[in-house]
């Protein structure tokens, strides 16, 4: 997993990158995925925008959100 931090701080974090790529066991499509190269490897970019709160949100909170997104996505039927 990777997080892009080129604009942080003060800019928001709103993406997460996976290698190997995410896939659901039930075969359903995961929305908002695209492919990006990072250090010569293909990563799956998962675009998940939310209301970034400068001075409140940080990398730790972003990682917690990522965990929540994964739990939510893989509980969907």
d(CA 76, CA 11): 31
The CA–CA distances, whole Å, from 1 to 27, 32, 55 equal 21, 16, 25
Residue 35: domain span:
15-75
Q: Is 41 inside a domain boundary? A: yes
Q: Is 7 inside a domain boundary? A: no
19 CB neighbour count, 10 Å cutoff: 14
Write down the pTM of the prediction: 0.84
Query: What is the pLDDT at residue 70?
Result: 93
Q: Is 34 inside a domain boundary? A: yes
Taking only the tens of pLDDT, the chain with its 77 residues reads 999 888 888 888 888 999 999 988 888 889 999 999 999 999 999 998 889 898 899 999 999 999 999 999 888 76
Q: Is 54 inside a domain boundary? A: yes
């Amino acid at each position: 997993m990777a997080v892009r931090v080129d604009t942080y701080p003060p800019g928001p974090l709103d993406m997460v990158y996976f290698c190997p790529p995410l896939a659901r066991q039930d075969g359903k499509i995961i929305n908002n995925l695209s492919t990006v190269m990072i250090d010569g490897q293909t990563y799956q970019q998962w675009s998940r925008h939310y209301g970034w709160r400068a001075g409140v949100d940080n990398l730790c909170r972003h990682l917690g959100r990522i965990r929540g997104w994964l739990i939510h996505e893989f509980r969907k039927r």
